[in-house]
Structure 1
Amino acid sequence: MEVVISLALTTALLLGSPGPAPLALAGVGASFGFREGTGFLVGILAGLLMVIVLVGAGLGTLFTTYPTAKLICQGIAAVYLCYVAYKIATAKGGVACQTAEAPSFKDGFILNLINPKAYAAFLAIFANNMLSDYSSQMNALLTGAICFVVAVVVDGLWMATGAKLRPFFAKPEQATKLRIGFAIALLISVFVSLLQV
């Protein structure tokens, strides 16, 4: 049980700290609401599940073996996150009269699928916190399942937190400031992650 708790806490800290995906979730929640942003949230989680499967299957070592692949994915992820920030910042109107569409399932899926930080996080988790009571395949499966459950909770909380801010920004001017603030925070997190290469 201690190993499971340690795994859950490590995952929560790695996935829950403010970064591109959590800030995008909060920004989408604040700009479009939880219900409208659900497709984006499900996409984020589906992309993360794919990353967990790839890392669990041993393919996450690609970035260790080929550092250029990591740099290429990081560049693509940065460009894509800038696109998501743009969608958040350019939505028009107050929360009651939203005119833009929320980022979609596809946007969230692609964001996490090409996010090198997700691969690095799960490489660290699988290297240091993998369960060890069963066969290696079962340990990888259980570790991945626990990580995914934690991700559902953490990412849902980020989206819900953003959605809770919506009523405070009902007027178009206030909503615009909120969206631009989240977009700028997202761009800063992208910049910081690029500096950590």
Structure 2
Amino acid sequence: MITFALAVLFLIITPGPGVLSAAGVGAGFGFRTGLRYVGGLFIGTNIVALCVVTGLSAVLLAVPAVRWILMGASLIYLIYLAARIAFAGSKIGFAATRSVPGIGAGILLQVINPKAYVVNTSLFTGFPFAPENLTLELITKALILNAIWIPIHLAWLWLGVSLNRLNLSAPTQRKINFAMAASLLAAVGLAVYAGTTHS
């Protein structure tokens, strides 16, 4: 169980679309909006976990057309998020927009986020510790996963909000924007690589 918890920590704490976008929303729109967005990410990651546990994701992703549609939607959305961050000007976070990312945006990102499927598949199909009681193992894994997932994503949100409060110079803020955008684009590159090597 400790091995599983450590695997959760290392798989989730590494920068991916979820945590990076949580920081970006916090920086661009503040803690309250960011909290709603993280709430959406939380719901979305648990939807993905349910799809993995029930085998639905394996069935859907076995169809090449579905896999490529999911990959395409994910890439488009991640590039969109990266562009909004990169072109936010001297303000850290997302470019000005009439709509703010909320619960629905968080759910959408996780449902089309390749990393969410990889992480959940690795965690729920590996690291067995109660093979005699699969139901207990799955419930325990879900509880451990969420107990680690929540503070990590709240920490990234807080980081984004804190960056916005530092009153940094415009050039420094622009560099942070581009660094955050580049990180998201790196996630896009990894998604493309994973998709092409497993197709």
1:21: which partner in 2?
A: 18
Which residue pairs with 1:137 in the alignment?
A: 135
- 1:30 aligns to what? 27
SS at match of 2:104: helix
Deviating more after overlay: 112-121 vs 99-108: 99-108
- Unaligned stretches of 5+ residues in structure 2: none
Return the offset for 1:68. Answer: 4.2
Is residue 2:39 matched to residue 1:48?
A: no
* Deviation per residue, 1:107-148 (Å, 9 max, x gap): 111010112221121111112124416632232122122112
Say what the alpha-carbon RMSD is for the aligned residues: 2.6
Map of 1:168 onto structure 2:
166
TM-score, with length taken from structure 2? 0.81
Name the structure 2 match of 1:117.
115
Aligned identity (percent) is 28
Distance in structure 2 (CA, Å) of the matches to 1:158 and 1:22: 6
Relative distance call for 1:144 and 1:110 in structure 2 (3 A) is: same
Aligned residues: 192
Question: Of residues 76, 79, 93 in structure 2, which corresponds to 1:79?
Answer: 76
Cα distance in 1 for partners of 2:96, 2:58 equals: 43
Do structure 1's residue 158 and structure 2's residue 151 form an aligned pair? no
Q: Deviations over 1:48-91 (max 9, x none)?
A: 01111111222232266334433321221111112222333444
- What is the TM-score with the length of structure 1 in the denominator? 0.82
> Aligned partners of 2:85 and 2:67: how far apart in 1?
26
**Alignment partners' CA distance in 2, 1:168 and 1:150:** 28
